[in-house]
Amino acid sequence: MILAPLLAVFLGPAVAEEESAARDHASGHLRAEDRYAGHEALVAETHKASRVARDRALHRTISRNTSGPPGAWGETLWSLAALYLNEKVDLANERLLKRAKEYVALKRSKAEVSEFLPEGSKETPWSYFALTDYVRIYYLFHAKSAHFPGRLKPETEAAMKEALWFWVKEDSKLADALMENLLVLLGTENHDLIRRPNHYLVASLLKEDPGYRDRPFDDGHTAVEYAAAYEKFFREWPRKRAMTGLWFEVGSNTYQKYSWPSLFNLHELAPDPVVRKQFGLLLDLAFIEEAQISVQGRRGGGRSRASFGKNGFESYKNLFYAPDGMAAGSSHSRVMETSSYQLPAAAILLRRREFPAAKPFVIQNRVLGELESRRPGDGEGARHAADSALVNYAYRTPHYLLGSTLQNPALSMPDPEAGAPVLKYAGISRQKRWGGMLFHDPASDEICSVSPVVEKTRGGRPQHPHWSVQHENVILFQRIKPETRKRLGSYSTGKLGIHFHGRKLEMLDEGGWIFSSNGTAFVGVNFLDGGYEWDEEREEANPTDFDQATDTSRILLHAGDLISHGSFDQFREEVLANRLVVGADKVDYRFGAAKNHLEATLYDGDRPEKFSLPRINGKPVDLRPKRTFQSPYLKGGFGSDQIDVTVGPVKRRLDFSR
């Protein structure tokens, strides 16, 4: 809910009391007839409350001498906040000028500097991940800015421009802006969104300066050529994502906060109005998609480069929703606080009125991550497929959200050098996949969860640790054996266990199952290939008799709630009565009133050709559905640039066509 005092101030006591009365305090669910009452006022006042939250966060920033990360990173964030608020402007200019001059002096002297990477970039005035904030400072406050002109002093502006010139001429290649490279990443997805949007914005400002416009970059091309090429590229980039899938690093705990700020910059700062419009639509789509699969602000469903628990990006989102009692602010950027963007009505209604859901529904969204071609290391230069065999699947009821990534663990392609089969999913896609259950209890400030946990055995995050298949309220996970020269397997993957998080969770061991409930939602967990053992805190269960080299543990999750089963006792009774047949190479499970039927063969990296896709009610799981977005709220066909949004009275078409 919006901050209670703000709700009373903005909406008035009568409206606030009306919303409170309309809400069922036992479930937090709004009655159908009252769900959308006064929604226009709710949207307008959420926007006002958001501006208050953003300004408050900015004032917190400048109340200190620096912001968040140390060194140039923190100083860049602090300077953006100070200049935006038009406070401590002299100090901000002083800091920006000092670091820019030091960097320019190094570059002019042709001294050796560290490579532009997160672990390097020590000499730059912005560090690595604050580059987007640094470029934003220049665009918002230079002498001829359309936003807040003149807050940068002439000497500071000139030094910053020259520093950006030295960076962009070395880091960019015009070939990266070719249309054929829309699904080629410069490194990881978040690295790509640090680099290429800033290549475009910096080239665009340089082409307006006679002193820079005709200077050749290191590849021989000029700012004029770069700006023209990237204008075409970024006109198309949002459309491509809308047609094929939004993200590679889906819901990452670490990297969402680095990726999203560039979307805001391109929406607000790009010199081309078409680019600004396309990225505004993309932000709307991204916030709506995020809202429909989040529980009280926490994203569920299938995620990559992710883990259970609080996601740092949650407080970033709270800058726009201004929820009562929840932190609102950003840790590693100040782009969102200084943005004028406001949430679309559909996202606000999803967060504030639509959930808890009136009835269960399924979300099926295509996800990017399959490779079209591969180079050694699976890093920069890898070309990704538009038609990717990955689906972010979630089943949502009034009391829980259960989700995972549908995938084909045997999907492979010939290595371009050795010719042997290699995995066809990109490293950033298959790295540390997360799926599981989030309990939705609006009366609690804690979000309980049940999800797999992967033991890390080597440097780096687990890769390809497990695969999963899901149909509605049932998920099957299987651990993948470690890779070898001859095996398509996992990396840094030890035991595959299940983590139970939440003070309210009741736990019962019964009939080979672990049953858990928060009172309104239930889940049963079954280690299908043997026994399990608890840790000392009784929060994590792991398989017994584990063998690192050969283990292919399969774990079944079956969820339910008061609506589907009536009580926790009834849920356990029905689950225990279901027909479950576990063989060495196959799991066969029949469940639910309609007797849904899940059949899944074992994936063995030593014999990937023997694997066949799981079958749901007799049909193979569809990893390439006809729709990129499929839910009651978002519908968009694969390859279509028209996405329909429906949330109660809000009906809108997001039209990415040009």
What pLDDT, in 10s, does the model give residues 65-90? 777 788 999 999 999 999 999 999 99
Work out the number of other CB atoms within 10 angstroms of the CB of residue 104: 19
Mean pLDDT, range 593-608, rounded to an integer:
93
Supply the pLDDT for residue 6.
Answer: 41
- As a whole number, mean pLDDT of residues 114-136 equals 95
- With pLDDT > 70 as the criterion, what percentage of the chain qualifies? 94
Is the pLDDT at 26 greater than 70? The verdict is no
* Buried-exposed string 325-355: b where 16+ CB fall within 10 A, e elsewhere: ebebbbebbbbbbbbebbbbbbbbbbbbbbb
pLDDT score at 380:
54
E strand residue ranges, 205-285: none
Instruction: Quote the CA–CA distance of 69 and 200 in Å, as a whole number.
Output: 26
pLDDT number for residue 523: 98
Residue 24 has pLDDT above 60, yes or no: no
Mean pLDDT of 420-441: 94
- Tell me: pLDDT of 21 over 50: no
pTM of structure: 0.94
Note the pLDDT of residue 29: 57
Q: Does 10 score more than 70 pLDDT?
A: no
* Closest by Cα among 196, 280, 273 to 238: 280
Q: Which long-range contacts (CB under 8 A, 24 or more apart) does 289-294 make?
A: 289/246, 289/365, 289/629, 289/634, 290/317, 290/347, 291/346, 291/347, 291/350, 291/351, 292/350, 292/363, 292/631, 292/633, 292/634, 293/363, 293/392, 293/394, 293/396, 293/401, 293/403, 294/351
CA-to-CA dists, residue 343 to 8, 28, 49, 349, 530, angstroms: 21, 23, 12, 10, 49
Per-residue pLDDT, averaged over 633-638, amounts to 98
More confident call, 179 vs 25: 179
In this model, does residue 116 exceed pLDDT 70?
yes
Q: Please give the mean pLDDT across all residues of the chain.
A: 93
pLDDT at 639 over 50: yes
pLDDT for the residue numbered 375: 57
The domain segmentation of the chain, as residue ranges, is: 361-625
Q: What is the pLDDT of residues 448-471, one digit of tens each?
A: 999 999 999 998 899 999 999 999
Q: Are the beta carbons of 214 and 224 closer than 8 angstroms?
A: yes
Q: What is the mean pLDDT of residues 109-129?
A: 93
Assign 487 a pLDDT band (cuts: 50, 70, 90). Answer: confident
pLDDT at position 593: 80
The model's confidence at residue 421, banded by pLDDT at 50, 70 and 90, is confident
Query: Token pair of 357, please?
Result: 């859901």
The Cα-based distances of 310 to 295, 315, 333, 430, 445 in angstroms read: 11, 10, 18, 21, 12
Task: Tell me: pLDDT of 16 over 90.
Answer: no
Q: Which pLDDT value is given to residue 27?
A: 45
Q: How confident is the model at residue 176 (pLDDT cuts 50, 70, 90)?
A: very high
Check whether 17 has a pLDDT greater than 50: no
Pairing of strands 449-454, 436-439: antiparallel
- What local confidence, expressed as pLDDT, does residue 212 receive? 98
Position 18 scores a pLDDT of 38
